[in-house]
A and B are shown apart, each in its own frame.
Chain A
Amino acid sequence: MKIMRINDKRAFYIRPKDWNETLSEDEQSFEPITGITKDDLLAIVDYLMTGQVEMDEYKEELIANPAERIVYKQIYDGLMQTIANKDEIMADVDSHFAQAMNKYD
């Protein structure tokens, strides 16, 4: 589902507690990206373990508000980097737990 979007020159995100996959994009309750909290960010990162997220691609000229532009860019870049590496990271972590999981299961 789409969790971050750029609309009408502004940058938004949906708080993870408000995520609802049954609603269309326009029905979702988007908040300005500058309101994102630590818990929101950790919940988004946690969600990447099992789900797919969509985000509007960051383009400087699409966001008018400089503060939103900076926050959106930082989080967008970080999440994209994570998505690109998550499978490899999870496989590596799994390999560290595999022996213990088998032994104490």
Chain B
Amino acid sequence: MANTIKKIDLHIHTLPNEYLDADFEFDMATMKDYVAKNSFDAVAITNHNRFNKDQFLAILTECASLGCACLPGIEISLEGGHILVIGDADDESYAVLRSLSEKAEGEEHDDHYSMSAETLNSLIAGKNILLIPHYYGKTPSIPKSVVDRLSTGVHAGEAGNQKKFFLAKRSDGPTPVCFSDIRIKKGTTEPELFNYDKLTYVRIAGDITVSSLKTALADKTNVAVGKSFLDETFDILEGEAEASGGINVLIGERSSGKTYTLGRIYDSLGGADNPDVLYIRQFEIQREVGDIRKKLQSFATEMGKDYSAAFRDVLEYMDRVGIGEKEGRVSRFLESLKKHAESSKEDEYSKAALYSFSPDEVIRGASKTNGMRKHVEALIDAESPLSEVISKYLDRENLILLFKELLSIEKREEMDERIKSIAERIAKAVSDCLTTKSVSVPIEGINFPSLFQTRYVRKCFDKLVAGIKKKTIADDDIFGRFRRVTTVGPIPTKREIKTLLGIPQGTNVDYLYAESKTDAYLRVSAESPSQHATGELRWRYFLNVDCQVKNSHGADLSGGQSAEYCLLDKLWNHRKYQYVLIDELEPSFDNPFLNGQIVPLLHEIAESATVFVSTHNNNLGVSLRPDQYMFHRVEDTPIGTQYRVFYGPASGKALHDASGEELPLSEVLITTMEAGEAAYNERRNRYENHED
């Protein structure tokens, strides 16, 4: 039977799991839209730990009417990761999926539920089932050590994105696949429906069944994420074009639609909601240069937020302890005590032990058991590759047992605390009653241990602030030829404090420099946020964070250098991003910078991310040595203006559009990058003449 290429998405959610999903309501119209607009040949319904046969059969019928196969499945929580278990639409598979669903449903009481590999093995033994674990960077991943314990082995491994798919195709692991993991619900937007970074093309013989998929997935050359099946390309623009997983360059005359294309790609990747995408818009860098001082200050604040985390924790703890309020009570206590004593009107009520009872007000941290339980929880929840390291030394089953025992100890401790609190409430009620009945002057109670705590906290805080004496480097980064140094030092000067926090110049801040820093803390905390800074910035009164950028000569940056710094600053964090989109950098930068700094950096970025660059500059367009070109052309036709996109590999001879029309690549490049052959030859001759 001849192989044909089918487009599949075998990871779709249609029911929320109460412990693992945000609530959503399934919508059949959206399901049909999703299948029809993407022209899928097969989908699978894989809800977390649940299989609902009735709903599946309804979806199966609708998919059949669209010519799309629909397979029943379930996404099982397996030893810390997730795995897709998919069957055929027949009674045998329904029975297997139901048993898995019932097993999980009976034991799942929180988001920590996890089935063991052995249980899964026993429930699918002898059945024709497809197993696809979260594997290549798809979280939560299942470690290889767990996969090795699955008696049937796995038939593919789900990848987190196309880049990971491409890397996986070159690895020794199972065949990679990319799926959407989409929630089919009302209100799903168009870009969400065209989630092109999450689908797989598979070369398969005959109908799509578990058996035919198993055969196809046994060979990595049978899968792709781009319809052309070329290496390292994937679909974009609702299937009208393909992009490379490496570097894509968008070229074309001005107003030919390049920015529009980047916008569509950005939207289809999730736009601003997707933290994995960096989009540097046209002229964005020029705009940032004017505000570079502000940018550095905001960076210092961001760095400071990290660096000051421990300090802010201390301030929050001090807020809870309530130093000012408790110390203020001492005078009232002594005053009332003396009046009570002087009245000398002791009666049976005032002589009772509970007459001047004051509850325990000592603020305590979380119990040691709680801290230990969180550490154990972190070990259980660790994802690959750390989970594999942990499983080498610690048995997961034992860790779960330990977690449960610590949880029960913690619950007992909480119960003791509650009983103590109830006892104190009763004692306070009795005390109030005795005070009301007694003829003597009541004593305003004070809890001595709690007072002691406030005094000790005061001492610790004064010591902490006084101990910050010198400036230390919190961060030191080299960006190409720039050096950005962030320093943290003791209490800023009066001028710095006022500038940083926008305090009016006439305001007296001498109290910050008095001996007791706790008194300064009490005063800063009592200040109105509108007068000074908001409560979150209190740490800036005590820690001075500053950020400076210098060029390679140690001097301040020129305007051009500031632009270079702003760009490098954005790109330097590329490891955070899976996609980097850049729209025309050339207006802000000279060719030596683009060629010397940006071209190598983009190649480095492309090792772990997919890059799209729109440009008219031949350094970026040609010298960058992209993997794929996307040429944009605008045409006036009798039916109106048409924007066309021709695409193809940079190693090929031609670009083509969705209709198959071809353009010679060399001609496109000479026209767009060099202003045509005549201009290119004239420039070359001029250079040669200068050499002569």
Give chain A's interface residues, CB within 8 Å of chain B: 34, 36-38, 41-42, 45-46, 48-49, 66-71, 74, 77-79, 81-82, 85-86, 89-90, 92-97, 99-101, 103-105
Contacts and interface: CB of A to CB of B under 8 A. Distances in A.
Contacts of B117: none
Contacts of B346: 66, 70
A10 to B, nearest CB: 13
Contact of A93 (B311, B356, B453): B453
A32 B316 CA distance: 41
Contact of B334 (A38, A69, A105): A38
Nearest to A46: B455
A95 B456 CA distance: 12
B310 A103 contact: yes
A82 B449 contact: yes
Interface string B298-310: 0000000001001
A74 B350 CA distance: 12
A95 B365 contact: yes
Contact of B443 (A74, A81, A100): A74
Contact of A45 (B310, B452, B488): B452
7 interchain residue pairs of minimum CB distance? A78-B448, A67-B341, A70-B341, A100-B310, A99-B310, A85-B449, A82-B448
A89 B453 contact: yes
A42 B327 contact: yes
Interface of B: 307, 310-311, 313-314, 317, 327, 330-331, 334, 337-338, 340-342, 344, 346, 356, 362, 364-365, 443, 446-449, 451-453, 455-457, 459-461, 463-464, 467-468, 488, 543
Nearest to B330: A38
A37 B334 contact: yes
Nearest to B315: A100
A100 B311 CA distance: 6
B341 A66 contact: yes
A105 B455 contact: no
Nearest to B451: A45
B466 to A, nearest CB: 11
22 contacts: A34-B338, A37-B334, A45-B455, A66-B341, A66-B346, A67-B338, A68-B341, A70-B346, A71-B341, A74-B443, A81-B448, A89-B453, A92-B362, A93-B456, A96-B365, A100-B310, A100-B314, A100-B464, A101-B463, A104-B311, A104-B464, A104-B467
A68 B449 CA distance: 22
Given A49-B455, A92-B365, A100-B310, A74 B317 contact: no
B448 A49 contact: no
Looking at A34, A37, A97, the one whose CB has the most chain B CB atoms below 10 A away is A97
A36 B335 CA distance: 10
Contact of B468 (A34, A77, A92, A104): A104
A105 B453 CA distance: 23
B443 A96 contact: no
Nearest to B311: A100
B198 to A, nearest CB: 41
Nearest to A94: B460
Contact of A96 (B313, B334, B341, B488): B313
A15 to B, nearest CB: 14
Contact of A82 (B330, B365, B452, B457): B452
A67 B344 contact: yes
Contacts of B307: 103
Contacts of A71: 337-338, 341
Contact of A99 (B313, B455, B460): B313
A31 to B, nearest CB: 14
A89 B467 contact: no
A105 to B, nearest CB: 6
A64 B365 CA distance: 44
Given A36-B334, A93-B453, A100-B464, A78 B446 contact: yes
A104 B477 CA distance: 21
Given A49-B459, A69-B341, 17 more contacts: A34-B341, A38-B330, A42-B330, A46-B459, A48-B452, A71-B337, A86-B449, A89-B449, A89-B452, A96-B313, A97-B314, A100-B311, A100-B314, A101-B464, A101-B467, A104-B311, A104-B468
Nearest to B443: A74
Given A74-B356, A74-B443, A93-B457, A81 B337 contact: no
B447 to A, nearest CB: 8
B103 to A, nearest CB: 43
A105 B460 CA distance: 13
Contact of A66 (B344, B356, B443): B344
Nearest to A104: B468
A55 to B, nearest CB: 13
A67 B346 CA distance: 10
Contacts of B543: 104
A66 B467 CA distance: 48
Nearest to A60: B351
Most buried by B among A89, A90, A95: A89
B307 to A, nearest CB: 8
A92 B456 CA distance: 11
Nearest to A66: B344
A78 B447 CA distance: 7
B469 to A, nearest CB: 10
Contacts of B365: 92, 95-96
Contacts of B342: 67
A89 B313 contact: no
Nearest to B364: A92
B310 A74 contact: no
Contacts of A105: 467
A45 B448 contact: yes
Contacts of A36: 334
Contacts of B364: 92
Contact of B449 (A38, A69, A81, A94): A81
Nearest to B344: A66
